Structure formats: C-alpha cells, structure tokens
Homo-oligomer: A and B are copies of this chain.
Amino acid sequence: MSYPKLLALAALCAACCGPVRAQETPASWVDPFIGTIRMGHTFPGACVPFGGVQLSPDTSTVPHNIDGVYQGEVYRYCAGYQWDDPTIVGFSHTHLSGTGHSDLGDVLLMPQTGERRLEPGDAGQPGSGYRSRKDASSEHAVPGYYEVLLEDSGVRAELTATERTGLHRYTFPKDSLRRMIVDLEHGIYNYDGKTLWAGIRVENDTLITGYRLTNGWSRENYTYFAATFSRPIARYGYKDRQKPLYTGFWRKFDVEHDFPEMAGRKLVAWFEFDSSEEPLEVRVALSAVSTEGALRNLAAETAGKSFDTIRSEAFAKWNDALGIFTIEGTPEQKAMFYTSLYHTMINPSVYMDVDGRYRGLDHNIHTADGFVNYTVFSVWDTYRALHPLFNLINRQRNTDMMRSMLAHYTQSVHGALPVWSHMGNENWCMIGYHSVSTLADALAKGLPLDRELALEAMVSSSNIAYYDGIDEYRALGYVPYERSGSGASMTLEYAYDDWTIARTAEQSGADSLAEAYRRRAMSYRNLFDPTLGFVRPRMRDGSWKEPFDLMETHGQGFIEGNSWNYSFYVPHDVRGLIDAMGGDRRFVERLDSLFTMHLPDAFFANTEDITRDGLIGNYVHGNEPSHHIPYLYAWTSQPWKSQYWLREIMDRMYVDAIDGLCGNDDCGQMSAWYIFGAMGFYPVCPGSDQYVLGAPYLPHITLRLENGRTLEIKAPGVSARNRYVRGVTFRGEKLSRMYLTHDELMQGGVLEFRMGATPDRRRGTAAADKPASMTK
C-alpha cells in the first residue's frame, strides 16, 4: 500500500498563494506528509528548524486510557495525526516527531462558526463537536507552512511558525460568526486528569495569556502561552468540564461570560469576533518559564511582521538549513533526501525563552550560560546516527545540545545524563546510558565542550546502582534475566557505552579510569553462549536462560530486537564479536542469514512496531538496534555485501509516499541513517572518529561544512544496478581503506566512488584496510 503524493498539488497551491515556494530550492522538495500515516509518526504542521513550536493539526482525541484500560490506538497518534483520518479536531502547538510514544499537543485552537460547541465531538459523527471534516484536496504543507479547508465550518486554516510562536490565519466564510475555541484539556497521550491545572487571563481585548501543567509522559510539563488576536474580542467565556467554574466567594461573578480570568482542571474557552472582511490571525507564543516569558517571546519574534513575512522567513530558514546539501538525483530521491534531512532538524527542539531562561530538570528556572537549551532527547535512538550527523553538519547546534545534556546532568538528582528526556523531565524510556556515547562522539569530533564535566557526567551516569541493573552489571558483568526481561540488551548496550567512556577517559589522560571501562566494555562476552555463538540471557547464578529462542524479543532478554539482531550489537569490538561468533566465515553466514531468513507469521502477531514492510529477512530497519549491521561486512572478507543490502534498504525502507517510512522516524534517527546512507558512509561506532564506508546512493552530493569547506561525494552512474563500489578516491588519492576519519571529512574535498553492476570482491579485504576494533 502506498498513498498518493501531494507534492504536485502542493506546488500548484504554492503557485497560487504567492512566491514563498520557489521550485528547486531544497525546502521545496520536502514533503511534510511523508511518514504521516502508519508507523512514521511524523506530523505535517509548521515549524522552523529545531523550533520549540510545532504547530500542527491533530486528528485524534483517543484517550490514553479509559478507566485504567489502555487504549492501543494512542500509539498510532504519537504525533496526534494520521493523514487518512477524515476529520481534524484542531491545531495544537507541540508535537514530537516520529516517536514511539506520544505526548504534548499543548494549547489547541479551533475556529468555529454557528452553534457554540465546546466538546471535540466524535470523529464518527460530524457536527457532534468542534471537530470538522477536512477537505483532503485542500490540505497542503511545505516546510514552515500548512493549510487546510475545514469542510464543516468552511474556514480555511493556515499555520506558520517561528522558534517559539505559532501563527494561525483563519479565513472565515463571509459574514459568518467567528469563534475560536481554545481547549486546554486537549492533548496527545491524554487521559482523564492529565491536565493537572490550567488557566487563562484575558489581559485585554486582543491579548490572552495562560498556562497548563500536565502529567503525561513528561511527568510535569509546564506550558505557558501568550496569544494575540488580530481583531478585538467581542465576547468570550469558559467551561470547566470537571466542575462548576471557580466563581469567587459566594459565586459573586458570572464567570462564564466576559470574566477575565479562569482556571481549572478541564478548561475550554471560547472567543467570538465580529465579522470582518479580513482573516482572523492568532499568534500563540509558548514558554516553559512563565506567561511573562511567553509575552517576551511573542514580541521578540513576531512584532511588526505579517503572517506572510513570517511564513516566508520560516521557508527561508528551512532553505538555509537544508541548503547545506546540494544533490543530484531523481525527483523521488530529492524528495526523500530533503524530507529526511528536514526530519533530522525538528527534534531536539529549542527549550528556552529568548532571554535565555528555561525550566531545568529540577523545575527551577535557569539561565543558559552561553548556549541554547534544547529538549526532546530520544537518546537510545539518536546516539546512533542523528547526533553523529550533527557532528558533521550541525556542529554548533550539537554543541548546544551537548551542553543542554550536561545542564540536565547537573540538575539531575540521580547524577544522570538524559535517557529519554523532554520538556524538563526524564521519562526513562528505553535502556542504556547512551548520552555518554553522544558526548564521547562530540568530544572525539572536536566540539568545544567542558571535557572534565563531560567525563564526570559520563562516569556518574554509568554508575547509578538502582538504574536498570547497573549494580548487578558491575558485580556480575551482565544484567541477569531475573533482574530485567531486557537484561541481555542492557548488557550489550552498557558494554558499548562503557567503551565510549573508556575512550574519553583515555583521551583525557585518565588512564586507570580508561582501563576500568575497557574491562566493562568487554562485558558483552559474558552473554555469548559458546555453544551457540549467539547472545543468550543469563541468570544470576551464571546459568543460561531456559528455554531460549533466538527469535523471542520483548521480555525474553531483549527489547526492540531478538538474539538474532542483538548478537551483532558490539559496535566497539567487531573483531572480538567475529571471534565470539566463530570466525569470519560463520560471521558472514550469520549476516547473510539475517537478511535472507523467512520469518513465520506468528512472529508478527506477537510483536509491536514491526510489520513485514519494515523488514528484510530478520533485519528490522524499523527498529534501531540493527542500524549498524549492514556495515559490519566491512570487517569481514566480503565487504561488498554491505553495498548490496544498503541499496535494498535505501530503496525499500524509504519511499517517497505518505506511508513511505517503514517505522517510527524516532526524532530523526531513521532519517539521519538515510542521509549517511546516501553519502556512502556511516558512524558504526559513535565515539570513534571513523565512518565506515558503505555505498553512495546518489550520483552527486555537495555538503557545505560549517568550517567553510565543501565535501563533494561523487558516484557517477550509481543506480540500483550499479550499486557496487569498484574503487574510491578521496582528495584525489586512491582510498583502499574501508573507513574515513572525521578529520579527513572536515577537510572537505572530493570523495569519488567508481560504481559498477558487479562487486569488487577483493576491495577492503586486507587487514590494514579494516575499520577499528577494540580487540585487534
């Protein structure tokens, strides 16, 4: 199944609407709808690169649970939206991009005409609430701009954004009553009581402020806002769905009408405006600090600028951000490349007011000292390719992200770097302490960080006794199965993370520390069952888990993978891994099998997140633990096989279609993998300065580096047929190695691949050409 693309239609609309979308600019190739049905979990709305506001339509109001019973549908709505839903419930200001868990959806606005309806209503019953059917043919989006015609009200809705402000433009039918709903209970991952408290103040007839405190995936999420209307409010009022509104002592006020402040647990407000020829514009600035902060953000970012100016600026920001790459390829490849790049620049997001103040992990208000504070760290995903990509293309941003992580550490009562952190909270999702990897990679690649603080944070994060079996990991060398049903995955990931600490300690001259972590980094061996040559969960007493099935995943020792996938997870010691598996021949056979084995149907019935579309054999591209595996052939006697499978993945897992993503985009990790895949190399082991060569995907890529140099990647004639690398030159010199170093790439120059329809089976097989490995 593949949904039709809207790109052509979008281009048509853009032509009518003005000059903001010029063809052939990088941003014009982006299709924000890619990934917005099924597993992609992306959103189509408006944001600027790494902006703190993601203003986007929500289509679902399915609660997270009803009377304690989990409603599975909420997983589909991690970004609040599925393209094929027929109705839109409104436009809210915060969205996660591509995650596998849902949250946010703060401050929902919805235009309305006719009868006042303050409930969202039932998607199956048009007219039952403020929700409206959408005219699907009218829906279009480009980076920083989204529009749709709401069928029920006849209102045309347009959205654009700055870093901290969402801008709405609503064109109502002529002479209609014009009403805006502001729903402070609505949310993504909602449940009865998620909004702990919310409030609104009508400061004057064009300005409102307010806030809400929610207890969602982000345990305590403070969202303050300030909103201006382009026309004076004529009438307004509120409803509290939970209880009669606060009425002051002895109910002395008519608080439901024209009373300028209200607060409650389930608050919805409405504002009516006299009819006018002009569209109604609303500008909503957010802050995690205070309404005062939101007002400052609003003024700093939007004062004196029209909606169209800000829309143009948003598009220009995307062109600037995406324009570091110039590429050649088919229209589909260009759409996929720039949309992927676009998806790498949404999360992490700015989480700081224009004056540098932000809400820290301790929920105190801090002032960022010389950096921009970011949030949304889906580290288990993004340490693999996203942050390494930033070390190449967004070094200033990543420096600030790393400083944000270090600020998180200094504010953590656990002494922990982020695990999965968003909106000033740690949600502890997934496993490992992979922020140590992102820091090690950043240090290895020369970002200007406080090395001493970073090393302290890394050591501290890896020694939190009560976190996911670290105490037993340290004592036994593995996390026993009794302790956690993900113990084997944890052990493997800890071992890799520990290697990144060892490397950082080594570079810092902390020799004994380095040695201690090198020992910890070898812990992966404790789980290789020598009779199988596979990783197998182990019990506290040292015995192996019984029964044991290589295919079993969640709760059976693994998470988002099984022994087949996780047994390849030793990125820091591939040489040692090959030995543990029984040598080169057996290792290559295993890799081959992974990509070609046939999975039984029962497997899919028992696993979440995975469909056949996201698999090649038992290789699961839709989940992250396998992302490095196609490159592991580089260490073997048959490097050319990487080139075969990489092309398969690029072609089959990334399709220029609304349902074109094979799994959650995971805050850009999937997309970052694609960008590396297109360039022909990959950071198999972040923390190392090596990129392992795969195969380029496009005939020509030019990357403008932040240091002013240019990296050109040429692969004339590359195609599905000509997928094999027959020779490589870098800066004019022949390159027989299977890797490039970061410093080499940062020099810029031309990396040229000679491609062919048949593999060069000898290339890269010499020991001297192999990428690094902890064990020689």
Residues of the B chain whose Cβ atoms lie less than 8 Å from the Cβ of A259: 466
A420, CB-defined interface residue at 8 Å: yes
Type the 1/0 row for A234-249, where 1 means its CB is closer than 8 Å to any CB of B.
Answer: 0000000000001011
A260, CB-defined interface residue at 8 Å: yes
A726, CB-defined interface residue at 8 Å: no
Q: Is the CB of B263 within 8 A of A219?
A: yes
A414, CB-defined interface residue at 8 Å: yes
Residues of the B chain whose Cβ atoms lie less than 8 Å from the Cβ of A364: 290-292
Residues of the B chain whose Cβ atoms lie less than 8 Å from the Cβ of A249: 420, 427-430
Q: Is the CB of B365 within 8 A of A290?
A: yes
Type the 1/0 row for A196-213, where 1 means its CB is closer than 8 Å to any CB of B.
Answer: 110101110000010101
A215, CB-defined interface residue at 8 Å: yes
Contact of A413 among B213, B248, B252, B261 (CB under 8 A): B261
Residues of the B chain whose Cβ atoms lie less than 8 Å from the Cβ of A467: 252-253
Q: Is the CB of B213 within 8 A of A291?
A: no
Q: Separation in Å of the A377 CB from the closest CB of chain B?
A: 14
- Whole-angstrom distance between the alpha carbons of A291 and B411 in the complex? 12
Contact of A468 among B213, B252, B365, B466 (CB under 8 A): B252
- Write the chain B residue with the least CB distance to A204: B413
A484, CB-defined interface residue at 8 Å: yes
A220, CB-defined interface residue at 8 Å: yes
Q: Is the CB of A253 within 8 A of B466?
A: yes
The CB with the most chain B CB atoms within 10 A, among A203, A219, A263, A291, is that of A219
A contact residues, range: 35 or more
A363, CB-defined interface residue at 8 Å: yes
Q: Separation in Å of the A243 CB from the closest CB of chain B?
A: 9
A609, CB-defined interface residue at 8 Å: no
A456, CB-defined interface residue at 8 Å: no
- Whole-angstrom distance between the alpha carbons of A635 and B220 in the complex? 62
- Whole-angstrom distance between the alpha carbons of A291 and B290 in the complex? 16
Asked if A220 meets B413 with Cβ closer than 8 Å, knowing A427-B248, A466-B253, the reply is: no
Q: Separation in Å of the A102 CB from the closest CB of chain B?
A: 13
Q: Separation in Å of the A570 CB from the closest CB of chain B?
A: 24
- Whole-angstrom distance between the alpha carbons of A263 and B218 in the complex? 12
Q: Separation in Å of the A185 CB from the closest CB of chain B?
A: 14
- Whole-angstrom distance between the alpha carbons of A202 and B258 in the complex? 45
Contact residues of A between 353 and 393, Cβ < 8 Å to B: 362-365
A511, CB-defined interface residue at 8 Å: no
- Whole-angstrom distance between the alpha carbons of A363 and B197 in the complex? 13
The CB with the most chain B CB atoms within 10 A, among A202, A263, A466, is that of A466
Residues of the B chain whose Cβ atoms lie less than 8 Å from the Cβ of A254: 466
Q: Is the CB of A414 within 8 A of B362?
A: no
- Whole-angstrom distance between the alpha carbons of A466 and B248 in the complex? 12
Residues of the B chain whose Cβ atoms lie less than 8 Å from the Cβ of A414: 260-261
Q: Separation in Å of the A159 CB from the closest CB of chain B?
A: 28
Residues of the B chain whose Cβ atoms lie less than 8 Å from the Cβ of A420: 249
Contact of A291 among B197, B248, B250, B362 (CB under 8 A): B362
- Whole-angstrom distance between the alpha carbons of A430 and B248 in the complex? 10
Q: Is the CB of A252 within 8 A of B197?
A: no
- Whole-angstrom distance between the alpha carbons of A291 and B430 in the complex? 29
Asked if A413 meets B466 with Cβ closer than 8 Å, knowing A290-B365, A364-B291, the reply is: no
Q: Is the CB of A252 within 8 A of B220?
A: no
- Write the chain B residue with the least CB distance to A490: B252
Asked if A246 meets B260 with Cβ closer than 8 Å, knowing A213-B213, A365-B290, A413-B201, the reply is: no
- Whole-angstrom distance between the alpha carbons of A258 and B252 in the complex? 48
- Whole-angstrom distance between the alpha carbons of A215 and B195 in the complex? 14
Q: Separation in Å of the A423 CB from the closest CB of chain B?
A: 14
Residues of the B chain whose Cβ atoms lie less than 8 Å from the Cβ of A265: 196
- Write the chain B residue with the least CB distance to A465: B258
Q: Separation in Å of the A233 CB from the closest CB of chain B?
A: 13
Q: Separation in Å of the A398 CB from the closest CB of chain B?
A: 25
- Whole-angstrom distance between the alpha carbons of A629 and B307 in the complex? 64
- Whole-angstrom distance between the alpha carbons of A265 and B201 in the complex? 25
- Write the chain B residue with the least CB distance to A425: B263
Q: Separation in Å of the A194 CB from the closest CB of chain B?
A: 12
Type the 1/0 row for A721-749, where 1 means its CB is closer than 8 Å to any CB of B.
Answer: 00000000000000000000000000000
Type the 1/0 row for A479-522, where 1 means its CB is closer than 8 Å to any CB of B.
Answer: 00000101000000000000000000000000000000000000
Contact residues of A between 244 and 293, Cβ < 8 Å to B: 246, 248-250, 252-254, 258-261, 263, 265, 290-292
- Whole-angstrom distance between the alpha carbons of A376 and B475 in the complex? 57
- Whole-angstrom distance between the alpha carbons of A412 and B349 in the complex? 34
Asked if A413 meets B362 with Cβ closer than 8 Å, knowing A252-B428, A258-B466, A466-B258, the reply is: no
Residues of the B chain whose Cβ atoms lie less than 8 Å from the Cβ of A486: 250
- Write the chain B residue with the least CB distance to A201: B413
Q: Is the CB of B213 within 8 A of A484?
A: no
Residues of the B chain whose Cβ atoms lie less than 8 Å from the Cβ of A260: 413-414
Q: Separation in Å of the A204 CB from the closest CB of chain B?
A: 9
Contact of A362 among B201, B250, B263, B466 (CB under 8 A): B201
Q: Separation in Å of the A170 CB from the closest CB of chain B?
A: 25
- Whole-angstrom distance between the alpha carbons of A242 and B413 in the complex? 24
Cβ-closest 9 pairs across A and B: A248-B428, A249-B429, A292-B364, A249-B428, A260-B413, A201-B413, A290-B364, A196-B197, A196-B196
A–B complex contacts, Cβ < 8 Å, 7 sampled? A196-B196, A202-B413, A211-B363, A249-B420, A249-B427, A259-B466, A292-B364
Given contact pairs A196-B196, A197-B215, A290-B364, a sample of 12 additional A-B residue pairs in the complex whose CB atoms are under 8 Å apart: A197-B197, A213-B213, A249-B430, A252-B467, A252-B484, A253-B466, A253-B467, A258-B466, A260-B413, A290-B363, A290-B365, A291-B364
Contact surface of A with B, Cβ cutoff 8 Å? 196-197, 199, 201-203, 209, 211, 213, 215, 219-220, 246, 248-250, 252-254, 258-261, 263, 265, 290-292, 362-365, 413-414, 420, 427-430, 466-468, 484, 486
